[in-house]
Chain A
Amino acid sequence: MKHSVNRPPTPDAAEDQGKEPPLQEIINVKLIESGEKERLMELLRERLIDCGWKDEMKALCRAHVKKKGRNNVTVDDLVHLITPKGRASVPDSVKAELLQRIRTFLMSAAL
């Protein structure tokens, strides 16, 4: 799957509350509209594949499926399974690279 399953909440939701959309939302919208979010995702995906992170996660999933039986596994199960390990096992270099790029974007989109 190439595209993110998570959709950011539409700006209307924030406006209905009667206050300024939080900074996070504004930046999120800018990220998406400029296409930078997609680029960052692709970059992160590529890095995670190259360093073997994706294979580790797939191995975890496979082991879980084998244990539970393939008809008893939901996407939710797998997400909850690999989220903690996945977050913890991103290589520092990859994390640093992405953070740097995000920070650059934030500064260029400075409000």
Chain B
Amino acid sequence: MSGPNEDKNTQLSSHFFGDLLDSIIVDVASECHRIAKLGLDRNLEEEEEEMRLSVQARARVADPSNSSETNTKYVVDIFGQTHPSIATEIFECMNCGRSIAAGRFAPHLEKCMGKGRKARLKVTRSSTAAQNRYSRGSPVSAYSPYSNSTSTNRLSNGTPSVAGEEYSNGTYEEPWNKT
């Protein structure tokens, strides 16, 4: 355990320790720099601003006088637009050709194509006699226009059911067929 060697050892150790520490300091500085530049760590002012805005928003939502029924027409979305609670854009029904409002489309389709007794009667009146025989015979026949799940597929292939005749021309678009 000679003196000078010990000193040298200590000196060297301190040097290397400082070396390690400096590297770590640079790493920490680099990390903080990155966080600052990417805005990952919110500044206090930004946080205060966001707190204020979120408190405002929460108050507006929680306000009991804003009942959802009366106010949907006046509620503003994030782009500043208002819209009525029932969609009003008008489409033509591909089954019966009528003009239907978008918001009333689904119930209309139900009656027009689907489940009801009245719908079945409406279709059979205008289809050919041969189709009538098929459709009345088997409920899940390929030509049946009123089993909803199969009919949607068949219609796109252009099979000769009532609605299908329109499709075989390849001109009709079926927005509701696409998922």
Q: Are A70 and B17 in contact (CB under 8 A)?
A: no
The residue on A at minimum CB distance from B29 is A78
Q: For the complex, give the distance between the alpha carbons of A42 and B31 in Å.
A: 16
Q: Are B20 and A99 in contact (CB under 8 A)?
A: no
Query: What's the count of A-B pairs with C-beta under 8 Å?
Result: 106
Chain A proximity mask over B26-46: 1 for CB below 8 Å, otherwise 0? 111111110011010101110
Question: A14 on the interface (CB 8 Å rule)?
Answer: no
Q: Does A41 contact B (CB under 8 A)?
A: yes
Q: Is A51 an interface residue (CB 8 A)?
A: no
Instruction: Please pick, from B9, B19, B28, the residue contacting A82 in the complex, using a CB distance under 8 A.
Output: B28
User: Which residues of B are at the interface with A, using a C-beta cutoff of 8 A?
Assistant: 9-10, 12-33, 36-37, 39, 41, 43-45
30 contacts between A and B (CB under 8 A): A1-B27, A6-B22, A6-B23, A6-B26, A23-B12, A24-B12, A45-B24, A45-B27, A48-B24, A57-B29, A62-B32, A62-B36, A62-B41, A66-B43, A70-B43, A74-B33, A78-B30, A82-B29, A86-B21, A86-B25, A86-B28, A87-B18, A95-B17, A98-B20, A99-B10, A102-B12, A103-B9, A103-B13, A106-B9, A107-B9
- A residues neighboring B (CB under 8 Å): 1, 4-6, 23-24, 27-28, 31, 37, 40-41, 44-45, 48, 54, 57-58, 61-62, 65-66, 70-71, 73-75, 78-79, 81-83, 86-87, 90, 95, 98-99, 102-103, 106-107
